[in-house]
Structure 1
Amino acid sequence: MASVNAPAGTLIREWRQRRHLSQLELASRADVSTRHLSYIETGRSRPTSAMVMRLCDFLEVPLREQNQVLLAAGHAPAHPELQLSDPPMAEANAALETILRGHLPYPALVVDRHWELVAANDAAYAFLDGIDADLLEPPINVVRLSVHPRGLGGRLANLQEWRAHLAERLRHEYDASGDPELGALLAEVSEGGVEPVTSSALVVPMDLRMPDGNVLSFISTTTVFGTPREVTLSELAIEAFYPADEATRAYLQSRPLA
């Protein structure tokens, strides 16, 4: 992606190319002339804020990057960016806490756009006992923690399969966003090569060895806010883990969390 100081037209062109669209295809979808779109991309015409938003909508540009294009075009950002601790975010915080608490006794956590840990329930934190302290220094990167040999990676019975699964997710997210930090994380996870998943299972599990010798198997789901118009909320994801077999379910339901 272009630097944050790139002209608006350059940013729009790079997003169009990332979405594998020609000028004609984007112009047709956005109901603008190909000539006008060409003028915008080359800097011969400065797009209005409405035009920027229209093009970004058809290009599925994330909210943070939409603000970047608007600023580059000389317009005010359209989407606010708040901290979770800010008063307007109270209801969103309450929703996250309700989901995390309601998922017990199964682990669940909230991550941001770079897979850094935002919050987790007690079941998730319980699996961090004995993890190298350096890996638990904030900000905690969940992807790095899950594959590092001194993190959960040293306890995974199917580390290579899980690493391949994470690499696939990161590649998809990087292709969609162009975020350089995701690109760096993808390179880190893929270092040394990643073997493709060949299992016939419908869902890739995470098989975690416990200190008592049990191996717990989890499948995961991802939940996001449905219609966010604020940057921080648009970048949050809830990763909820469910038992992949009855033995794991029974183990977790019988295990005290405190």
Structure 2
Amino acid sequence: MTTVSPDTGVGGLLRGWRERRRLSQLDLALRADSSARHISFIETGRSRPSEEMILRLAEQLDIPVRERNALLVVAGYAPRYAQTPLDDPAMASVRDGLARLLAGYEPYPALVVDGTYTVVAANRGIALLMEGVAEELLAPPLNAMRITLHPAGLAPRILNLAEWRADLLAQMERQIALVRSPELRTLYEEVAAYPVADQGSGGSRAAERTPSFALPLVIEHGGQELSFIASIATFNTPMDVTVAELAIETFLPADHATAAYLRERLA
């Protein structure tokens, strides 16, 4: 029987994902309709899993689509999931649907980013908030993390920057733990190194107004203090890497004053 290194082969990768999900071999075997012995043989390289078994285990371990392709390639199989550029004619329905969604959410801000936080679409609410951002940050390709945390971006106007920055960096850390993306790691190191100005008592006052159910984004715009609750949506059961890595981020006004201000400005 031909074996592969348990550290570099598909078995080692699957073991890493299983441990990350905090499942025992028996737990995974029960979920994947297999046996703990077979899972053990796969992880140690004593058994070469079939393409079907890899995909079944990946589904039970909730492995991102891009990483499922990587598992298949390591095991000697062809990638299963395509990676179609968003501007491809085949993606017209996706683009149109996103455009309608963003427009329908106005006057409230909403945008779509890819797996490295590059902005692929945004509505007028986002454009309003970005007034005053340095021109170099608005040159394509726009990056949501860079625009938010850069000292020449939104950061000086975010009244609870310390809390919001910590939340965004933690979000990136969780994503880096799930996907092997040098680009995402480089972006994280860049934005984490941005200097953070002392906000004095402004940040404390913003923190005092934090709703108990979610951390808001509290930002100043045109002399008005705006407060938003952010939510992120992704596509259900994506079969394409590009679609799998798209995220729709919407900002719901956290108070009536914010909602009224946006309606007035974007009437």
* TM-score, normalised via structure 2 length: 0.83
Q: 1:176 to 1:35 in 2, by over 3 A?
A: same
Q: How big is the alpha-carbon RMSD for the aligned residues of Structure 1 and Structure 2?
A: 2.5
Partner SS, residue 92 of structure 1: helix
Amino acid at match of 2:67: E
Amino acid at match of 1:58: Q
Following TM superposition, by how much is the alpha carbon of 1:156 offset from its aligned partner in structure 2, in angstroms? 0.8
User: Does 1:247 pair with 2:233?
Assistant: no
* Conserved? CA contact 1:18–1:175, under 8 Å: no
Structure 1 Cα separation of the partners of residues 211 and 128 of structure 2:
31
Q: 1:67 to 1:20 in 2, by over 3 A?
A: same
Amino acid at match of 1:218: F
Long gaps (5+) in structure 2: 1-6, 197-206
Indicate the residue corresponding to 2:17 in structure 1.
Answer: 15
Amino acid at match of 1:240: T
* TM-score, normalised via structure 1 length: 0.86
Give CA deviations for 1:12-50 in whole Å, capped at 9, x if unaligned.
122112212232322232222223222222222221110
Amino acid at match of 1:165: D
Structure 1 Cα separation of the partners of residues 264 and 135 of structure 2:
28
Following TM superposition, by how much is the alpha carbon of 1:177 offset from its aligned partner in structure 2, in angstroms? 4.1
Structure 2 Cα separation of the partners of residues 41 and 180 of structure 1:
26
Amino acid at match of 1:12: L
Amino acid at match of 1:235: E
Matches within 5 A, 1:63-212: 63-177=65-179, 179=181, 181-183=183-185, 185-186=187-188, 199=210, 201-210=212-221, 212=222
Indicate the residue corresponding to 1:24 in structure 2.
Answer: 26
Structure 2 Cα separation of the partners of residues 179 and 60 of structure 1:
18
With 120-129 and 162-171 compared, the bigger mean Cα shift is at: 162-171
Aligned length, in residue pairs = 249
Following TM superposition, by how much is the alpha carbon of 1:248 offset from its aligned partner in structure 2, in angstroms? 1.1
Amino acid at match of 2:95: N
Long gaps (5+) in structure 1: none
Following TM superposition, by how much is the alpha carbon of 1:185 offset from its aligned partner in structure 2, in angstroms? 4.8
Indicate the residue corresponding to 1:236 in structure 2.
Answer: 246
* Conserved? CA contact 2:111–2:249, under 8 Å: yes
Indicate the residue corresponding to 1:219 in structure 2.
Answer: 229
Give CA deviations for 1:123-168 in whole Å, capped at 9, x if unaligned.
2122222212232233322123212221100111111121122233
Following TM superposition, by how much is the alpha carbon of 1:182 offset from its aligned partner in structure 2, in angstroms? 4.4
